[in-house]
Chain A
Amino acid sequence: MKNIIETKDVNVFYDTNHVLKDITMDIKEHSVTAFIGPSGCGKSTFIRCLNRMNDYIESFSMKGQVLIDGKDIYKKKVRVEELRQKVGMVFQKPNPFPKSIFENVAYGLHIQGETDKQLIAERVEKSLHRSALWKEVKDILHKSALSLSGGQQQRLCIARTLAVKPSVILMDEPASALDPISTAKIEELILELKQHYTIVIVTHNMQQASRISDRTAFFYMGDLIEYDKTKDIFTNPKKKETENYISGRFG
């Protein structure tokens, strides 16, 4: 399978603070890639480099290249709005808009200028099916999204992202604010979504990484220490730091 994401020598600074060092990584299409590592090691910063979500941070600067489908997304002429339709994102805390459930999922189409009501309704339904939320919300589509439970809200955020038909979905600790049952549902969902999308997920939960991902990248203090098949990372790590981290012996 082809590489949909390639990064080359990515270095990130917040002012003078050098938080990512020479990160080079390829990510294959229709795979699940997990980023693990201790808090503050740069996982969120890196995943946000993949759809330029760091653009709004004034102190942020980056060197190196991020290629999506072979195209450098940090080139001047790239339209960042188009990029993000292709590379969607789900955040740590569920963040639905204070609008109706329907409006939340339809938002991405609205901002693209879509006015065909039929098409929007179909896409909303399909996205909610895909995010395994349809059964629970089909009769309350016009209720506020804020009335849903945390786990439902997060699946709604996933549906909202699916509705714009991305190829890649970035997830930054999508289950860390959820209870175990909701977490299990999200994990199940990720495995389903893999057939149609490329998924990159940050997680601090090692079991989660081993359950759902094909490849795992271990970050430590801004360095990409090891990146390999998940099975190999967890059973046969090549670096001392990785072994220490996954076995919980970590200072």
Chain B
Amino acid sequence: MKLKRTAEKVIESGLALSGLITLLTTLGIIWVLVTESIGFFSEVSIVDFLFDTQWTPLFTQKHYGILPLLSGTFLTTSIAILVAVPLGVIIAVYLSEYAPYKFRITVKPLLELLAAVPTVVYGFFALTVVTPFLQSFIPGVSTFNALSAGLVMGIMIIPMISSLSEDALQALPKSLREASFGMGATRFQTAFKVAVPAASSGIIVSVILAIARAIGETMVVAMAAGQQPQLTLDPREGVETITAYIVQVSLGDVPHGSLAYKTIFAAGITLFAFTFLLNNISYWLKKKYQEKYE
């Protein structure tokens, strides 16, 4: 009896400890981001950071405008989402509303396997297969370009959207579809007029998480979109994303503590702000959605 109680105490404190470690790590990351960024902003004005249209901290003529990195991130993420949302949702609807049970339970894990492919493989694929293919019929596509990186990143996040959206569709009560069929609706009408709207919050959550994933994705964009910060919305051109820039500086020979080094924290906190916001929106939506169905 006593032993059992002691064991329970040990397990309990073990669990509390691991929770604490996670919390402390997160706080530590935020702490480093904030303090280093304060260092950065004591030397660069926030107005320059937000409105200057050039990002050249590593050149002699230094500019610290985050806009080119943001536009690079925005461009590759948008292309990825344009690919992944329609395809991901169509796959989810097909699997949930059309496919026979056996097919669904075989294909879904296979799709999820796509998400387990290392991102460096996707990056390599973008650079060596997709880019030459795009160059063969679109004039003006650079060796490094946002389009190729965005398309491949889109393919990469399809399973995330299809899998989570399919879960949301499957969580709907069967009686909802029966109601629709019972009134003479076709499968297509039932899928798109009843099931998808009813699962919309879950589908939107999957899309938001996919956006957060695309914004935070590093390898594919660093390899295929290039490392030239440019304020452009032309997908044929090379761009640099926030993440690609952070990699570039981290791996380079920029001296620790220098202003150039601190730029990665300023870039990092910007990235963090976006993903934090997206995560909160998805969390909030999920909560709202659960309340509705309980």
Contact = CB atoms under 8 A, between A and B. Distances in A.
B183 A108 contact: yes
Given A85-B183, A95-B179, A110-B193, A58 B100 contact: yes
A222 B197 CA distance: 39
Given A93-B175, A111-B193, A146-B292, A84 B198 contact: no
Contacts of B176: 95, 97-98
Given A111-B189, A146-B292, A88 B183 contact: yes
Interface residues on B, range: 20 to 34
A164 B184 contact: yes
A88 B181 CA distance: 10
B178 A95 contact: yes
A97 B194 contact: yes
Secondary structure at the B interface, as helix, strand, loop or mixed, is helix
A53 B178 contact: yes
A56 B194 contact: no
Interface in B179-201: 179-186, 189, 193-194, 197-198
Nearest 7 CB-CB pairings of A with B: A95-B175, A89-B182, A85-B184, A84-B184, A81-B184, A108-B183, A95-B179
A97 B198 contact: yes
Interface string A75-117: 0000001111100110101011111000000011011100000
Contact of B179 (A83, A91, A146): A91
Give the most central of A96, A97, A99: most B CB within 10 Å: A97
Interface of B: 100-101, 173, 175-176, 178-186, 189, 193-194, 197-198, 292
Contact of A81 (B178, B179, B185, B197): B185
A97 B179 contact: yes
24 contacts: A53-B178, A58-B100, A58-B101, A81-B186, A84-B181, A84-B183, A88-B183, A89-B178, A89-B182, A91-B182, A95-B175, A95-B176, A95-B178, A96-B179, A97-B176, A97-B180, A98-B176, A98-B197, A98-B198, A110-B193, A111-B184, A111-B193, A157-B179, A161-B183
Interface in A178-218: none
Given A111-B185, A161-B182, 11 more contacts: A58-B100, A84-B181, A85-B184, A88-B182, A97-B198, A107-B183, A107-B185, A111-B189, A157-B179, A160-B183, A161-B183
Q: Which of A81, A82, A110 has the largest number of chain B CB atoms within 10 A?
A: A81
Contacts of A230: none
Contacts of B194: 97
Interface string A150-167: 000000010011001000
B290 to A, nearest CB: 13
Contacts of A98: 176, 197-198, 292
A111 B188 CA distance: 10
Interface of A: 51, 53, 56, 58, 81-85, 88-89, 91, 93, 95-99, 107-108, 110-112, 146, 157, 160-161, 164
Nearest to B189: A111
B196 to A, nearest CB: 12
Nearest to B177: A56
Nearest to B183: A108
B186 A99 contact: no
A160 B185 CA distance: 13
B105 to A, nearest CB: 13
A79 to B, nearest CB: 9
B185 A95 contact: no
Contacts of B182: 51, 53, 84, 88-89, 91, 161
Contacts of B101: 58
Contacts of B185: 81, 107, 111
Interface hub of B173, B179, B182, B197 (most chain A Cβ within 10 A): B182
